[in-house]
Structure 1
Amino acid sequence: MKKISLFIVFTFVLQASDIVIEKATMQSFGKQLRVNAKIVQLSNQRQQIVSRLGGHLETYYVEPGQTVKRGGKIAKIQSLELSKMTADYLALGKKIEAVRERLASTKKLYEKGLASKQDLNREQIALAGVEADRNALASQLRSLGIDPGRLKSATDTLIIHAHADGLVSRLLVPLHTNVSAETPIVSLVQKSGYYAVAYIGVKEALKMPEKVEGRLYIGDESFSCRYLYLMPKVDEETQRAQMLFWIESSDKPLLLNAFAEMDIDLPPYEKRVAVKRSALTMFEGEWVVFVPKAGEGHEKHEHEGHEEHDEHGEEDEEHHHEEVPFETRVVEIIASFGDFAAVKGIEPGVAYVADGVYFVKSMMLKSELGGHGH
């Protein structure tokens, strides 16, 4: 039986890092309503990336479902229009040099009285005009993501960049297609723009208060939702009213038009003792939470166990059973919302196992088997 005792202690040491202890708190719980909801995105949260110049679509640097950052590369286009723009910009640079030389010569002649003021003004105006044309082209090139100062030769390669963070929804144009200016090539959705439309009966919707909390469930994950407003028309197919919620947890990409379940928490709200839902487990046919044993009681019991072991070898089994430093507390589940459940059977401020319940339960079962096995 000493081997069993050592095994239990060793197992606890390995699993202790996975066990999280928290304290029961008082939280507000209201009337629970479970409804269906659809994940949507408002039109102002969807964007289309366009090619500002016509050309041949050569390469995509992204694919559907990929997250992109603002300024990230989206696609490459070979554009004859860009080739002409860059060639014109370089030509204007050469022209400016020539006009400046001519202006310098005219200025010298003017100072010597060999050229008129009108001649000097004409050359100054010519230089200003050429510089204005080049500055305009430089501005256009910068808006296309091209640094004019680095241009050494004409280029027809246009790289399309993302103008915002988002998720690539669709590639709108096949590769090796000739596109015209302002043609949308990629559809982008903003990850922060996910909403849920909850479907609810018309009578219930008309009585809906302003303060409403929602929790959306998708598989094993849940997302907190903030109620925005009741939409002005019912869904034509279901004839249900539609409540719009903003999904606050929006770091992860969600699937648009997917259906999920939503819990809506309605008034009146009551303060109740709350524990994490992850703390609840069935043990010997009852809902329980695990709580740490009182230190003094544990030490006393352990001391008594040693004395009994000296006299009766069989009672060593019960001592090993008590080595698990947790005990069960039977609770009654009253309500639940989000990550928490309202329970009876435990007082606020009492420490309990919030995470790692599986390990505690496993230790207790092993202890019981050790206490009754041979």
Structure 2
Amino acid sequence: MNNLTIKTLFLLIIFTLATPSMASGGHDDHDEKHEESGHEEGGHEEGHEEGHEEGHEEGHEEGGHEEGGHEEEEQSVKLSKKQLAIAGIMVKEEIQLENISSVISAPGEIMLNEYKTTSVTPRVSSQVVRRNAKLGDVIAIGQPLLTLSSVEMATAQGDLLVTEREWKRVKKLGKKVVSAQRYTEARVAHGQARARVLAYGMTSKQAESFLASGDASKADGTFQLLAAQAGTIIHDQFIIGELIEPGTKLFIISDESVLWVEAKLTPSQVKNVSIGSETVVIADGKNFLGKVVQIHHALDEDTRTLGVRIEVTNLDDQLHPGVFVQAQISSMNKKPALAVPINAVLRSSDGDWVVFTEHEKGEFEPQEVELVRTVGSLAVIEGIEPGVRVVTEGAFFVQSEFAKSGFSIHNH
């Protein structure tokens, strides 16, 4: 074989050996490219799925939000003109900021109104014969309280009877018949005897009745003590047959329809309080309106405070002497605030404070507010803007009609 033939065979062998590896390498390259292509396709699908899910969730959430907003409809109650008139509903036109007094809060104690309180005491040594009233009785002026018997009164009654007859005789004879001295003595003796029985405890009407009877046997020293004022008996401490000395308190009668509250303030606080300042007295969680009637001028030696006397009405007998209270006194310092009548602020079913606002004529809706404080007959509130129309009279009726409609103030 020549050289050319040998070279040709050698090239064929090399080509034959190289062909399987090239085919294998090409296949691997094809698989690798295929895997990369598949990865890209998988990534596309995954991105598509994630985008779809995210878009779906976002759309769902937005749809839910819109749906929730759709469900939260405006809650209000509309009343007819007839209902407005019957309930006496009044609306404050566009509530605005007002200069409202700040409040001074101070502890206090309920006390008897001493100007409307009477102590019933005998003026001479006596013995209790009969009781005509007892503790807790509500009595009228002039009503008999008890019957007493006194030796001194018996003497005075006898003297009155004798001098009355003498005076009538002398007066009938006249100054032309009797001497001037006898006329004067008879007149003076009668006057002194009358004054004595009155000083011992008989009233003018009782003395006149005694003299009109002309019965000497009635000069036995018995007499009745009568009520000098109307009120309630709050003190009653004696027994039948007891010997009583002059000045002993048998009864204390007080008109409790008007009581006092003694509040303790520092001297600096008193500077901002004046006679007539409106006050809210808080007792047992209830508010009672009052006003300052007196301010003490001497410091309490123990507490170094000044007493401020507040007069408070107690027509329903809910307040009692000795009870500790909190007094909120209107100060002379004033600050801008929103205020409505106390009756305009109501408790909702969940305990929040609300007022009713009118956004259309005769149509009302509740508005939750914060009750900051009360000043006299006003309630200082926060939670609404100036310019809102607020129901000031008949709010309770509006609330009841709102409840009938099935709405919940809390949900609003």
Q: TM-score range by the shorter chain?
A: 0.5 to 0.7
Q: Does 1:85 align with 2:156?
A: yes
| One-letter code aligned to 1:135 | G
SS of the residue corresponding to residue 56 of structure 1 reads: strand
Relative distance call for 1:207 and 1:56 in structure 2 (3 A) is closer
| 1:151 matched to 2:189 | no
By relative contact order (CA 8 Å, sep 6+), the higher-ranking structure is: 1
Match status 1:354 vs 2:403: no
Larger mean CA deviation between 158-167 and 36-45 belongs to 36-45
Distance 1:14 1:176 in 2: 66
Aligned to 1:55: 126
Structure-2 change in CA distance of 1:29 and 1:235 (3 Å): farther
Q: Give the secondary structure class of the aligned counterpart of 1:126.
A: helix
In structure 2, do the counterparts of structure 1 residues 130 and 197 end up closer, same or farther at CA, with 3 Å as the change threshold?
closer
Residues 298-309 of structure 1 correspond to what in structure 2 (within 5 A)? none
Distance 1:269 1:342 in 2: 12
Report the counterpart of residue 90 of structure 2 in structure 1: 21
Equivalent residue number for residue 241 of structure 1: 305
Q: Normalising by the residue count of structure 2, what TM-score does the alignment of the two structures yield? A: 0.60
Segment drifting more, 177-186 vs 61-70: 61-70
Listed as ranges, the gaps of 5+ residues in structure 1 are 1-7, 108-119, 299-324
Q: Which runs of 5+ in 2 are unaligned?
A: 1-76
Question: Which residue of the partner structure matches residue 234 of structure 2?
Answer: 169
Map 1:1-374 onto structure 2 (within 5 A).
20-21=89-90, 23=92, 27-41=98-112, 47-96=118-167, 125-142=181-198, 144-145=202-203, 146-148=206-208, 149-154=211-216, 155=218, 156-189=221-254, 191=256, 194-199=259-264, 205-206=267-268, 208-211=270-273, 213=277, 214-219=279-284, 220-226=286-292, 228-229=294-295, 232-234=298-300, 236=302, 239=303, 241-249=305-313, 254-266=319-331, 268-281=333-346, 287-292=353-358, 294-295=360-361, 325-331=363-369, 333-344=371-382, 345=384, 347=386, 350=389, 352-357=391-396, 359-368=397-406
1:45 and 1:190 mapped to 2: Cα distance?
6
* Secondary structure of 1:125's aligned partner: helix
CA contact (8 A) 1:329 1:346 kept: no
Give the counterpart letter for 2:273 in structure 1.
Answer: K
Q: Secondary structure at the match of 1:64?
A: coil
* 8 Å Cα contact 1:195-1:245 kept in structure 2: yes
Distance, in Å, in 2 between the alignment partners of 1:336 and 1:99 is 73
Give the C-alpha shift of residue 232 in structure 1. Answer: 3.6
The residue aligned with 2:69 is none
Contact kept? 1:38, 1:258, Cα under 8 Å: yes
- Structure-2 change in CA distance of 1:257 and 1:333 (3 Å): closer
Q: Would you say the 8 A contact 1:19–1:353 is kept in 2?
A: no
Over 3 Å counting, the alpha-carbon distance change for 1:133 and 1:171 in structure 2 is: same
> Once the 2 structures are TM-superposed, how far is the Cα of residue 33 of structure 1 from its aligned partner?
4.2
Q: Tell me the alpha carbon deviations over residues 100-158 of structure 1, each in whole angstroms, 9 at most, x when there is no partner.
A: 79x68x97xxxxxxxxxxxx665x53344233322322333456212335233142431
* Corresponding letter in the other structure for 2:393: A
Aligned-residue sequence identity (percent) comes to 13
The C-alpha deviation readout for 1:248-272, integer Å capped at 9, x for no partner, is 4365664222101122333531243
Distance apart, 1:343 and its partner CA:
3.1
Summarize the Cα distance change of 1:243–1:98 in structure 2 as closer, same or farther, 3 Å threshold. Answer: closer
Contact 2:141–2:230 (8 Å) recurs in 1: yes
Q: 2:387, 2:292 → 1: CA distance? A: 28
TM-align CA RMSD: 4.3
Compare the two structures and name the one with the higher strand fraction: 1
Residue type matched to 1:256 in 2? P
Q: Is the 8 A contact 1:76 1:160 kept in 2?
A: yes
Q: 2:171 and 2:288 mapped to 1: Cα distance? A: 68
CA distance in 1, matches of 2:262, 2:171: 66
TM (normalized to structure 1)?
Answer: 0.65
The structure having more radius of gyration, on CA atoms, is: 2
> Aligned in 2, Cα 1:196/1:32: closer, same or farther, shift over 3 Å?
same
User: Does the Cα contact within 8 Å between 1:235 and 1:242 map onto a contact in 2?
Assistant: no
- Alpha-carbon separation, structure 2, partners of 1:59 and 1:25: 66
CA deviation profile, 1:180-218 (whole Å, cap 9, x unmatched): 444432234464874323345x5xx43542436432112
Q: Distance in 1 between matches of 2:269 and 2:358?
A: 45
Aligned partners of 1:191 and 1:252 also within 8 Å: no
Change (3 A) 1:133 1:217: same
Q: Distance in 1 between matches of 2:119 and 2:250?
A: 7
